[in-house]
Structure 1
């Protein structure tokens, strides 16, 4: 369930980046955002 929700957030973020690629010069911030969600999901799954 949580993984599906994370996937939806990632897809939504990717779509926003495709619509406005000039809003962010680099995707480094997005990579950190995705990584933080991934880690949070793993920690939540272990509980």
Structure 2
């Protein structure tokens, strides 16, 4: 039995939403990490 995959398994137009969500999640995580880092540094400095 031979199986040939010549066509995309995923619809290309459906990938745009996934990429947009990944970028949004990455941005939110970066902002939250920056805020957490700011408060950790402030706490360690004792201010």
TM value normalised by structure 1: 0.45
Instruction: Give the structure with higher Rg (CA).
Output: 2
Query: As a proportion of its length, which structure holds more helix?
Result: 1
TM value normalised by structure 2: 0.45
